[in-house]
A and B are shown apart, each in its own frame.
Chain A
Amino acid sequence: MQIYLPIAEVSVNAFLLLGIGGLVGVLSGMFGVGGGFLITPLLFFIGIPPAVAVATSANQIVASSFSALLAHLKRRTVDIRMGTVLLVGGLIGSLIGVQLFNLLRKLGQVDLLVSLCYVVFLGVIGALMFIESVNAIRKSRRGGPVTRKRHNWIHALPLKIKFRKSGLYISVIPPLVVGIFVGVLAAVMGVGGGFIMVPAMIYLLGMPTKVVIGTSLFQIIFVTAATTLMHATTNYTVDIMLGLLLIVGGVIGAQIGTRIGLMMKAEQLRILLASLVLLVCGKLAYDLLARPAELYSLTPVIL
């Protein structure tokens, strides 16, 4: 069944969109990630204009994260204070990101920026995650305890605040910077940024793992909501019809994914996720490096 998307102005198969939403939903349920990093490239691939894909997937992330956040709030695994600091940073970051996006769109380099961001971040995170989980598996086989360094240069910074739920007494600067960084990525890449924020919270800020996911979801929802609004009001690129189809597929997929995720070991899940991230990264890198089939591209403006 073909459906004409009013903002993207293309006609796409509705079941294809439901399928993409569902597939990404399964993965996000399994791994506890928003799935923005998969949905945006997939939308490029089926011919949705990049600007619409980025803006609409931000909207989709709000939906997929909302029910998860509710569950975390019930379990009291959200550090609201830390989340708020990250959120303030995130809002500043997304404001910068949307401006950057507009500037590069005018220069005709937005596709390049988005692809480069994907290749760099997915590559780095995927590789780190892969190495880390391989090590964790080896360690658990040897039976040794997993140790983590607690004190580093982070603790020397000023403006310290007590984050009771995380059991931390650290400066607000590192979480603020992490927040800004994730906000920029959210606006430019159409992702929630969980795949950057979660490792940063664990390794950089030293937060306990049990509050990390809930807190990052808290930040992601507000930042992606703000990004959606900014894209909607400045670029008019949020396609509600596209969003709705992805969301319907996504929320159903997420429930299935959660079931699958419960049946697997944490290290196995992480290795799988790392391979998936590296696969997407490899595909995008190949597209940048290989000679494209069509060297020319068109940007029309109605007279």
Chain B
Amino acid sequence: MILRALLLLVAWALPATAEEEVLAGLSQSRISITADFDGTELLIFGTVKRDAPGDPEAMTGIVVTVSGPAQKVTVRRKERFAGIWINRAAVEVDRAPSFYAIATSAPIRDILSWTEDLRHAVSIPRAIRSVGAPSEVQDSEAFTEALVRIRTGNDLYQDRDSTVELVQDTLFSTSVVLPANLVEGNYTVRILLTRDRQVVTSFDTVIFVQKVGLERFLYTLAHEQPLFYGLLSLLLAVAAGWGASEAFRYIRS
């Protein structure tokens, strides 16, 4: 019974009409943030499976995106007020990925049309959704640009043009470096196969990024047992202060 249901599911999931299919693998499907976590490199590789040989005239492209959990971001701008620089105007960006990397097999506009980019939210500016700005802010684009600029500076947004290696329009591989300042959550890896700047098919998978061990324990404790956590911090502080003075007295005598 279960077997039959599974078979049905598999048959349904496999697109019977599609001529091409992307199959991909990742070097890791789970990233653990431990105490000595200092970023990691993610290898993404795969193949394009075809029933019949593809059209040799058409330009084939591969676009790989890695996208972190979505956030609402308040972008503030400093202005000079009474001689000092303070935060004045603010714009809320409704949805921005905490991390976003895009790697392509060729310059993006050669393999992905503008409309397809918009439809699938592929390039960095398209992956950010900003609905509206308060009426007193005229230049809301400057705020989204600043968001991209700051995050690019922190390696949280990466535009890695032409870094996907594509062999004979079939085998592809690339790597994305995930920085140390990762946010916990599910990261979506998406691979788009394009032909003549149109998306033909895509492949999605998820990587879990999670604090583990001591990091997990402390974070959970701080949020679920804040009073106990606070007392523990104080106890450690007092013990360290007292211990050090005793130790030094012992050394001196």
Report which A residues bind B (CB closer than 8 A).
1-4, 6-7, 9-11, 59-60, 62-67, 70-71, 108-109, 111-112, 225, 228-229, 231-233, 236, 238, 240-241, 243-244, 247-248, 251-252, 254-255, 288-292, 294-303
Q: Within 8 Å CB of A10, what residues of B? A: 180-181
Query: Contact: A229 with B230, CB < 8 Å?
Result: yes
Residues of A within 8 A of B171 (CB): none
A232 to B229, CA, bound (A): 7
Q: A residues within 8 A CB of B79?
A: 295
Instruction: Give the CA-CA distance A288 to B80 in the complex, in Å.
Output: 9
Contacts of B160 in A (CB 8 A): none
Residues of B within 8 A of A109 (CB): 86-87
Can you list 30 A-B pairs with a CB-CB distance of less than 8 A?
A4-B37, A6-B219, A9-B183, A59-B233, A59-B234, A62-B238, A67-B244, A109-B86, A112-B86, A232-B226, A232-B233, A238-B233, A240-B229, A241-B218, A247-B236, A252-B244, A254-B244, A289-B83, A290-B85, A292-B78, A292-B85, A294-B146, A295-B77, A296-B76, A297-B75, A297-B150, A298-B73, A298-B150, A300-B72, A302-B185
The answer, among B83, B147, B183, B234, for a CB contact under 8 Å with A62, is: B234
Q: In the complex, A296 Cα to B142 Cα: how many Å?
A: 9
- A182 CA to B84 CA, complexed, in Å: 26
- B244 close to A302 (CB less than 8 A): no
Q: Select one of A1, A70, A236, A299 contacting B222, CB under 8 A.
A: A236
Which residues of the partner chain A approach B98 to less than 8 Å between Cβ atoms? 300, 302
Q: Assess the B231–A229 pair: CB atoms within 8 A.
A: yes
A-B contact count (CB 8 A): 184
Instruction: Given A4-B36, A297-B76, A298-B75, answer yes or no on A67-B211 (Cβ-Cβ < 8 Å).
Output: no
- Min CB distance A302 to B, Å, is 6
Chain B positions within 8 Å of A, measured between CB atoms, are 33-39, 69-80, 83-87, 90, 95-96, 98, 143, 146-147, 149-151, 180-181, 183, 185, 211, 214-216, 218-219, 222-223, 226-227, 229-234, 236-238, 240-245, 248
Name the B residues within 8 Å of A3 (CB-CB): 35-36
The 9 closest A-B pairs by CB, nearest first: A232-B230, A251-B244, A67-B245, A66-B241, A11-B180, A296-B146, A63-B237, A63-B241, A300-B71
Q: Could you tell me the distance between the alpha carbons of A244 and B244 in the complex, rounded to whole angstroms?
A: 13
Contact A225/B234 with A3-B35, A67-B241 known, Cβ cut-off 8 Å: yes
4 further A-B pairs in the complex, CB-CB below 8 A; given A2-B36, A289-B83, A299-B76: A59-B237, A231-B230, A238-B222, A296-B75
Whole-angstrom distance from the CB of B137 to the nearest CB of chain A?
12
User: A2 with B180: in contact, given A296-B76, A303-B69 (CB under 8 Å)?
Assistant: yes
Q: Give every chain B residue within 8 A of A289 (Cβ-Cβ).
A: 83-85
Task: Compute how far the CA of A50 lies from the CA of B236 in the bound complex, rounded to whole angstroms.
Answer: 22
Residue on B nearest A237 in the bound complex, by CB: B222
**A297 & B78 in contact (Cβ 8 Å cutoff):** yes
Chain A neighbourhood of B75, CB < 8 A = 296-298
Residue of B nearest to A303 (CB): B70
Q: Which of B73, B218, B229, B234 has the most CB of A within 10 A?
A: B234
B38 (CB) vs chain A CBs: closest residue:
A2
User: In the complex, A109 Cα to B85 Cα: how many Å?
Assistant: 11
Given the known interface contacts A66-B237, A243-B237, the answer about A229 and B86 at a Cβ–Cβ threshold of 8 Å is: no
Give A249 Cβ to nearest chain B Cβ, in Å. 10
- Shortest Cβ distance from B37 into chain A, in angstroms? 4
Alpha-carbon distance between A232 and B230 when the two chains are bound, in angstroms: 5
- The smallest C-beta distance from B89 to any residue of chain A, in angstroms, reads 10
Asked whether B219 lies within 8 Å of A233 as measured between CB atoms, the reply is: no
* Residue in B39, B86, B241 whose beta carbon sits within 8 Å of that of A64 in the complex: B241
Query: Once the chains bind, are B72 and A240 in contact (CB under 8 Å)?
Result: no
Given known A232-B222, A233-B227, A240-B232, contact A301–B237 (CB-CB < 8 A): no
Considering only CB atoms, which chain A residue lies closest to B78 in the complex? A295
Specify which chain B residues have a CB less than 8 angstroms from the CB of A60 in the assembled complex.
237
Contact call A300/B150, Cβ cutoff below 8 A: no
